[in-house]
């Protein structure tokens, strides 16, 4: 029995001895549109589809697009997912000049749900729209438009990203 355990242990450790060590190539990260990503970031775990589409907008290389031509100063590109869309304007170097985002029925940040539950206890959020406008020189403006229901009554409210009612 003791010999069997030693043989099994030796066989179990043998594959690790032959593991290959590979050297990875160097990776360069370009932060062309870091300002856009910093301004639209919510600071907490937001809806994954929203984050992914924002990253796609920030990493889009306008110079590799089929419609790119040196004569134009500005390009407007639309990005879509089932939950929403982003319309972004790029300059000829690929920098985002402005962007408009609209998403429906996404995961709301905790600060928004707590603000609604604190002010309107017993009401439920039945629909939500998340709107973002970004300008290169002014930053991002984020709004939430919510539809609340309680006992057959309906109410619409607007909040900013900090949970303040407007």
Instruction: Tell me the residue length of the chain.
Output: 166
Contact 131, 142 (CB under 8 A): yes
CA-closest candidate to residue 140, choices 61, 46, 72: 46
- 138 and 166 in contact (C-beta within 8 Å)? no
Confidence class for position 67, pLDDT limits 50, 70, 90: confident
Task: State yes or no: pLDDT of 117 exceeds 70.
Answer: yes
Is the backbone of residue 124 left (phi > 0), alpha (psi -120 to 50) or beta?
Answer: beta
What's the mean per-residue pLDDT of the chain? 83
For the CA atoms of 163, 124, 118, 84, what is the dihedral angle to 10 degrees? Answer: -10
Q: Which long-range contacts (CB under 8 A, 24 or more apart) does 107-110 make?
A: 107/46, 107/47, 108/144, 109/42, 109/44, 109/46, 109/161, 110/44
Contact of 131 with 107, CB cutoff 8 Å: no
What is the structure's pLDDT at 10?
Answer: 63
Residue 104 has pLDDT above 60, yes or no: yes
The whole-angstrom separation of Cα 94 and Cα 120 is 44
Domain-wise residue ranges, the chain: 31-160
Q: How many CB atoms lie within 10 A of CB 99?
A: 26
Structure confidence at residue 28 as a pLDDT band (50, 70, 90): low
pLDDT reported for residue 64: 86
Q: What is the pLDDT of residue 148?
A: 95
What's the confidence (pLDDT) of residue 77? 93
């Amino acid at each position: 029995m003791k010999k069997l355990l030693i043989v099994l242990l030796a066989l179990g450790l043998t594959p690790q001895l032959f593991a290959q060590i590979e050297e990875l190539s160097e990776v360069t990260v370009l932060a062309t549109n870091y300002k856009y990503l910093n301004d639209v970031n919510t600071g907490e775990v937001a809806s994954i589809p929203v984050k992914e589409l924002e990253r796609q907008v920030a990493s889009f290389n306008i110079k590799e697009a089929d419609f790119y031509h040196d004569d134009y100063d500005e390009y407007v590109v639309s990005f879509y997912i089932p939950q929403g869309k982003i319309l972004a304007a790029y300059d000829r170097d690929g920098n985002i000049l402005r962007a408009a985002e609209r998403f429906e029925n996404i995961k709301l940040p905790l600060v928004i749900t707590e603000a609604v539950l604190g002010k309107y206890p017993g009401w439920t959020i039945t629909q939500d729209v998340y709107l973002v406008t970004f300008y290169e020189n002014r930053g991002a403006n984020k709004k939430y438009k919510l539809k609340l229901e309680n006992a057959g009554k309906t109410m619409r409210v607007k909040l900013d990203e900090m949970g303040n009612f407007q």
